[in-house]
Amino acid sequence: MTTVYHNPRCSKSRAALELLRSHQIEFDVVKYLEDPPSEKELQKIVKMLGIKPEQLVRKKEKRFKELGLGDQKLSDRQWIAILAANPSLIERPIVVHGGKAAIGRPTENITELLGQ
C-alpha cells in the first residue's frame, strides 16, 4: 500500500496526489497536520528515506524560528521529538511505497520511488 503524508495547502503535495492518480496507484492520505505521525512513525519514515531527521525539517518555516532551532545542535532523537510535536516543520509531501519513501520535491523523486 502507498501512503502520502499530505498538506492540502501545499502545491507540491497536491501534485504528488495527481502524479499517483495518473499512474493509477491506490494510496492512503495522511493529513499530517491534523493527524501527526508519532515519534516511532517518524523514525521509520526517516529510515526509509535514508536521511538524518534534521534533513526532514523545514528550516524556513516560521515555527522553526519561533522555537529558536537555527543555532542549536540537536541529536537525531531530539529532532524526531521536535517534528512529532511540530508537524508543520515536516518536509512535504512524503510518499511511502513498497517499504521505501521519498520526499516529493521534486516530483521526479516519487516517479523514481514508483519505479516508473
Query: Which three-class secondary structure state does DSSP give residue 30?
Result: strand
**What burial letters (b/e) apply to 74-93, b meaning 16+ CB within 10 Å?**
eeeeebbebbbebbebbbbb
Are the CB atoms for 84 and 38 separated by under 8 Å? yes
How far from each other are the two terminal CA atoms of the chain, in whole angstroms? 16
Whole-number Å distance between alpha carbons of 97 and 111 = 11
Whole-number Å distance between alpha carbons of 26 and 83 = 27
Q: Point out the catalytic residue in the list 3, 10, 41, 67.
A: 10
Active-site annotation holds for 10: yes
Residues with a catalytic annotation lie at 10
